[in-house]
Structure 1
Amino acid sequence: MTKKCLELKGVSKNFQGFRLNHISFTLPQGYIMGLVGSNGAGKTTTIRLILNMLEKNEGEILVFGKDNVLHEKAVKQEIGVVFDHMFYVDSWTVRDTEKAISIFYDDWRHNTFDDMIRRFCLPQNKKVGDLSRGMQMKLMLACAFSHNAKLLILDEPTSGLDPVTRDEFLEILQDYIKDGERSVLFSTHITSDLEQVADYITFINQGNMIFTGSMEDLINSYRLVKGRPQDLTPELEKNIAGLRKTNMGFEGLITANEAAQYGHCILDTATIDDIIIYMSKGGIKK
């Protein structure tokens, strides 16, 4: 039986004008899960709740079976984090960073850190603030790997990286989970990255869960539908998410189950980007 690395059960958080609403998903040990949705959908809020940087209003979060609040110190020993911005002090050198961060972890491995900075070609005496965006991300990864983190949480880590660095980063992630003991939760807008490495997808839209499951199941759950103006019946229009109408015709997103009854229209496979874009424009349609 596959072990659970991360489990959210009915997690909610209320803000003025926004609610993260009963989010539930499970990340099995040894896999990569992509967390997707438009800006403001609730991805970063979800990550901050997992890290107990925000206090949830409802629900339960378990990391390797431990409550993330009741056992916060033990849980955070198991988690490595890479955000979309550097959170180390600009005036620190790479070596200073190890000295400052290592004191917080019971299982810090100096040899691993040395191996990682050599692998990533990080200059030991260069200041954090002088590192490139890609090197800063690699430094955060080196720290995460050096305390033997079993869960890596990434919030938009590849934004602003060049294609070569992004490809190298994705290879690092795939290597990271090879032993079957480690897992990755990967929030990103660059869905082509997820298509390369993600095993599972969780899709949040306007604070609501739309989908959680395998990448294949998500792609198979929806279709792009297109047709002439006369093909758009009132029933079809009601079922389409993100409907776009012109004098020449229409297009939008429809569930695969509903698509079967509209064979007179053009039906195409939807990409992850298609699903996110049309759902965001058209509201929630499961």
Structure 2
Amino acid sequence: MTDKILARNLSKTYDKFKLGPNNFAIKKGFVTGFIGKNGMGKTTTIKALLSLINYDGEIFIDGKKIEDLSYLQDVGLVMDDSFLGKDWTLDLVNEAMSVGYKNWEASTYYGYLERFGLEMEKKVSDLSRGMKIKLMLAVALSHQAKILILDEPTSGLDPAMRDELVDMILDFMEDPNHTVLFSTHITQDLDRIADYIIFIDQGKIVFEGSKDEFYDKFLLIKGGLDDFEKIKNLKIYGKKKSQYNFEALVSREGYKEDEALVVEVPSIDQIMIYYGRI
């Protein structure tokens, strides 16, 4: 198993937020889900990977340190906010991309436009948020990209299109040389396709590993307030208390069964909701 993307001591400092320093790897040939609450550093990390911002640290692609922008020829990008010119028609998008990408395939692009029901005479500014996501997906899949980076791509899509997007990612991954980094807060999509999970909180990577390892790391325990003492020796990542009950996200390590407690394997959503809620 090899690393497609490797980040070492990646950091970025703003006035009110600091990312990292973080070390992480995106495995070649797999789908990595990138999760965390809003404002925790997902988009900043992705912008660094794409050289859209200045950053401290090092990023390697296929073992080679990034020193110019040539690697972006192999990257397909779908972001929450369109990077395309607002006044461009979809025909003009084709012309611009054919200049920017050496492996641009106009026939593939127009095939996706037809599949998605996008009208070529429309301007980017005329498209709904969901339609813009579809357009960026068409661009991302039309220049023989080996890496697909998706930053909140499903937020503007209806359930049917979300399902189609997931199917398209699975089709893309039929090539063992393809790699996907999928940042999303709609974690049901990751349940279906992610092989690995990277979890970021307060600008720091707090988990990196397989999806199964991620699920195996946590338990969600519920009980009466008087029962809270029973879990005090466990590592508690977050909790919620009411007048009579508590719910706590804890480490599975060291847990011993107790009939007075309700124990569940938390979903990715629940892990993100409870994590850090101390």
TM range (shorter): over 0.9
For the structure 1 residues 252 and 131, does the alpha-carbon distance in structure 2 shift closer, same or farther, using more than 3 Å as the test?
Answer: same
2:40: which partner in 1? Answer: 41
> SS where residue 195 of structure 1 aligns?
helix
CA-CA distance at 1:110 after TM superposition: 2.2
CA-CA distance at 1:50 after TM superposition: 0.5
* Residue 191, structure 1, aligned to residue 190, structure 2: no
Query: What is the CA deviation profile of residues 79-116 of structure 1, one whole-angstrom value per residue up to 9, with x for unaligned ones?
Result: 11111122222322111111012211222222322332
For the structure 1 residues 28 and 239, does the alpha-carbon distance in structure 2 shift closer, same or farther, using more than 3 Å as the test?
Answer: closer
1:117: which partner in 2? Answer: 113
2:20: which partner in 1? Answer: 21
Tell me, yes or no, if the aligned pair for 2:240 and 2:277 is still in contact at 8 Å. Answer: no
Unpaired stretches in structure 1, ≥5 consecutive residues: none
Query: What is the CA deviation profile of residues 103-143 of structure 1, one whole-angstrom value per residue up to 9, with x for unaligned ones?
Result: 11222222322332233332222222222323221211121
Of 43-52 and 22-31, deviating more is 22-31
Q: 1:177 aligns with which of 155, 160, 173?
A: 173
Tell me, yes or no, if the aligned pair for 1:38 and 1:280 is still in contact at 8 Å. Answer: no
1:60: which partner in 2? Answer: 58
Q: Which amino acid aligns with 1:255?
A: S
Q: Distance in 2 between matches of 1:178 and 1:40?
A: 33
1:9: which partner in 2? Answer: 8
2:102: which partner in 1? Answer: 106
CA-CA distance at 1:166 after TM superposition: 0.9
Give percent identity, aligned residues only. 39
1:201: which partner in 2? Answer: 197
1:165: which partner in 2? Answer: 161
For the structure 1 residues 262 and 26, does the alpha-carbon distance in structure 2 shift closer, same or farther, using more than 3 Å as the test?
Answer: farther
Q: Which amino acid aligns with 1:109?
A: E
Of 4-13 and 170-179, deviating more is 4-13
> SS where residue 257 of structure 1 aligns?
coil
Unpaired stretches in structure 2, ≥5 consecutive residues: none
Tell me, yes or no, if the aligned pair for 1:30 and 1:182 is still in contact at 8 Å. Answer: yes
1:50: which partner in 2? Answer: 49
Q: Which amino acid aligns with 1:127?
A: K
Q: Which amino acid aligns with 2:240?
A: R
TM-score (norm 1): 0.90
Q: Distance in 1 between matches of 2:16 and 2:89?
A: 42
CA-CA distance at 1:238 after TM superposition: 7.4
For the structure 1 residues 39 and 237, does the alpha-carbon distance in structure 2 shift closer, same or farther, using more than 3 Å as the test?
Answer: farther
For the structure 1 residues 143 and 46, does the alpha-carbon distance in structure 2 shift closer, same or farther, using more than 3 Å as the test?
Answer: same
Tell me, yes or no, if the aligned pair for 1:237 and 1:243 is still in contact at 8 Å. Answer: no
For the structure 1 residues 98 and 175, does the alpha-carbon distance in structure 2 shift closer, same or farther, using more than 3 Å as the test?
Answer: same
4+ residue stretches of structure 1 with deviation over 6 A?
none
1:215: which partner in 2? Answer: 211
Of 143-152 and 240-249, deviating more is 240-249
Q: Distance in 1 between matches of 2:168 and 2:131?
A: 14
Say how many residue pairs are matched.
278
> SS where residue 100 of structure 2 aligns?
coil
TM-score (norm 2): 0.93
2:74: which partner in 1? Answer: 78
Q: Which amino acid aligns with 1:205?
A: D
CA-CA distance at 1:246 after TM superposition: 2.5
CA-CA distance at 1:230 after TM superposition: 1.8
Tell me, yes or no, if the aligned pair for 2:234 and 2:253 is still in contact at 8 Å. Answer: no
Q: Which amino acid aligns with 1:67?
A: K
Q: Which amino acid aligns with 2:16?
A: G
Q: Distance in 1 between matches of 2:30 and 2:84?
A: 28
Q: How does 1:268-283 map to 2 (within 5 A)?
A: 268-282=264-278
